[in-house]
Structure 1
C-alpha cells in the first residue's frame, strides 16, 4: 500500500483528504505543521506528499525547498495545496520542485485524480477495486456494474465507455477521443458510433444514466 503524507494544518480538511485517500487504496499519514511534516518525510519517505504552503512551524515553501534539496526525499513527488492562486505562487512552487499545484477550495475527487496522475508519472498508482458515483457502483476487478444494488449487464464496449467517463467525472470527453480510447481507432471515425452506444448505455443504467450528460457539439461527461 502506497503512503501519502498529508502536511495540512486545517484539521477538517486533513481528515477529509485522509478519508478519501483510504477509499482510493492509499495509506494516509497526517501531520499538522511544517517542521513535523519535514521530519516525518525524512524519517519515513512516503510515495507522495500533499503539502499546504501556509503552515505553522515552518512555511510549506521552505519544507519543499529542503525536501527537494535532500537526496533521501528529492525524488518524492509533491502536490502543493494552497489558497494562493496567483501565478507567481504557482511559479515559485514549480521552481522549488512541486509536481502539481491545487488551489483551495478544490474538489476532493479532482485531488484524487491529480494524486493518481502524479504517481503514474513516477510509478504505478494503485487502482481502486470499486468506484461509486451516486447510485452507480463499478467493481473494476470483476467488471461488475450495479445501480442501486441491482446488477446491470453491459457489453465490453459499453463497459469501456462507462469506465472512460466514470474515471474522469466532470471532464468532457469528445466523441473523437472516445472513438480512439474505446474502439482504438487511430483516425477520426464515424462519431455516430459513440452516440449509438451511449444511448444504449444510458438506457441500461436507468436513473443512473442521467449522470451522463451530452455536451452539445462536442461530446459527453459524467456528473453526479
Structure 2
C-alpha cells in the first residue's frame, strides 16, 4: 500500500507533516504539490491506496486539489482524506466530497487509523466466510450484515438472498431460479416472494446495495463492482 500526500512545497522536510508521520508508521509515501498535474503516467498506471490532501488553513485549496484528483479517472474511486487545522475545519462542508478529515497537528496513530478506515470502506473482497462490497460487509459464519461497521437486522431469507447474489456477482438469475436456489426446490410459493424480499433489502440497506440490479424480463443480479 502506498499513499499520495498532496500539499505545499517542502512536505518532506516539514516537521510534523503527514509525510513524516506516515514514514514513522512504515508507510510508502509519494508527494505532489497542491497545484501539480495529477494525470502523470506513474499515477495513472499505479494509483495509490489513498490520497491525503494536506490543506492546513487553506480549505479552498484543499477543495481545488480534490477536484483535480477526481478529474483523473484511475483516481476517481481512491479514498481522499483532507488534513486541516481546527480553524479551517469550520469552513469544510459534508458535501465537499472528502471521505474523511484529520486535524493538524497530526497524531500519527490516529492519522494511520483514519486512512486505513477509508481504504477499508472503499474496498471489495470475498472470502470463504466474509463478503465485502464497499460499506457493506456480510459475515456468513456469524450470519451478520453491517454497513460501515453498524449492524443491520435482516430476516433469515433476506440474509440468504443477499448472500447468494453477492456470492454470484455478475450472474443473472430468474425469479424461479432464485426460489429454487435460496428458498429450496420444495418451495411452491409465488415468484413475487423474490420481488418482495428484494424490495425489503433495498429499503433496509439503501445505497449499499446499489449494485443489486433488476434485469427487466429476466430477474435480478448483483453487478460486479
- Fold-level similarity (TM above 0.5): no
Name the larger-Rg structure: 2
